[in-house]
Amino acid sequence: MADIKKIEEIFIIDEEIVQDFFDEPNYYRAELFFNYLSSWCQCSRAYMIPSLHKKIVDWIKRNTSNKDTLTQTKAIADFKNWVEEADLLGEDDGNNDQHDTELLFNIIKLIHPDKQIKVVSSKYKNHERINSIDSDGLFEYIGKNKEFMDFFERKYNIGNWDSSY
C-alpha cells in the first residue's frame, strides 16, 4: 500500500472541540477531527495555549480525584497525546486567551511559513488576523476532503458520513 500523502496543516484548538469529544451529542465531530490529525496530518497533535491546557488537566484531576491512579493518569496522558501544550509561549499569567492565541498563531506562522494554520474556536470567528474556524466549519471542511473521507469510511467500515450534520 502506498504511503498516504500527509497534509501540512497545524491546528490550534481551545476547549470547545475537546468538550465535544467528552460529550455524546457532538462526539462524532471531535472524533473525525482527531482521526484526521492522526491519519492525515504531518503534525498529528493539536496545539493549545498553556493556560487552557493546564485548566483541562486540572479539571480532569479534580473530577477524577475519587478514581485510582491508573484511571486518572491514563485520561490525562490520552488528552496530552492529542493536544500538546504549546510551551513555546513560555510562562504567562494566562489571563488573556485571545492574546495568547494570537501570539501562538504568529509564532507558528513564523516558524512554519509554508504550512496552513487553523485556529479551531468559535471565539475568534471573523478575526481579522488569525485563520479561525468553528467546530461546524471544521466538520464541513474535513467532510469535503474526499480522499480522507473515503479512507476513513473504508478503513473503519462505517457508512457514508453526512457532513451536513
Partner 1 sequence: MISEHIDMEINKDSEVKSITIVKGSCISAAERVRRKITKDDFVEVMVVKNSPLRMVVREIRGKQKPTDSFRDSIKQAGLLNKKFDF
Q: Does 44 bind partner 1 (CB under 8 A)?
A: yes
Q: Does 123 bind partner 1 (CB under 8 A)?
A: no
Among 29, 46, 50, 79, binds partner 1 (CB under 8 A): 79
Q: Does 92 bind partner 1 (CB under 8 A)?
A: no
DSSP run (H or E) holding 52: helix 50-63
Q: Tell me the closest approach of the beta carbon of residue 6 to partner 1, in angstroms.
A: 9
Torsion angle in degrees (nearest 10) through CA of 100, 105, 111, 113: -170
Q: Tell me the closest approach of the beta carbon of residue 47 to partner 1, in angstroms.
A: 16
Q: Tell me the closest approach of the beta carbon of residue 44 to partner 1, in angstroms.
A: 7
Pairing relationship of beta strands 116-120 and 9-13 according to DSSP bridges: parallel
Cell numbers standing for residue 41: 496530518
Q: Does 34 bind partner 1 (CB under 8 A)?
A: yes
Kindly provide the residue ranges of all beta strands, DSSP E only, lying in 32-149, ordered along the sequence: 46-48, 83-85, 116-120, 132-133
- Interface with partner 1 (CB under 8 A), residue total 44
